Amino acid sequence: MNEGQKHDTEKPMYNLLPANAIDSMAKVMTFGANKYAPNSWQMVDSPLERYRAALLRHAFAIQRGELIDDESGLPHSAHIMCCAAFINELESAS
């Protein structure tokens, strides 16, 4: 019997993504969807400028020692990951 083969060495290894970080991002996205609307992040004016500013606000909050966002109750780091994902998505689309 021949061994099976799977040619996947060049494919992205999604199994390496940290599960807790992805879960935290999903919680931030759910918070945003409930506050505004699902996927509304795609419809804001000047999105790159605004998400870069939001990312920095969350980063500076961490630098000041504030780990949890007061409004959402979620980690600032999760908000940063979402902002970075939005920026990446928007830059990839342009």
Residues 28-76 have pLDDT tens digits of: 999 999 999 999 999 999 999 999 999 999 999 999 999 999 999 999 9
- Name the residue ranges covered by the structural domains of the chain: 19-29+46-93
Look at residue 86 in the predicted model and tell me its pLDDT.
98
pTM higher than the cut 0.95? no
Look at residue 7 in the predicted model and tell me its pLDDT.
82
Question: b or e along 44-65 (b: 16 or more beta carbons within 10 Å of the residue's beta carbon)?
Answer: eeeeeeebeebbeebeebbeee
Count, residues in the chain: 94
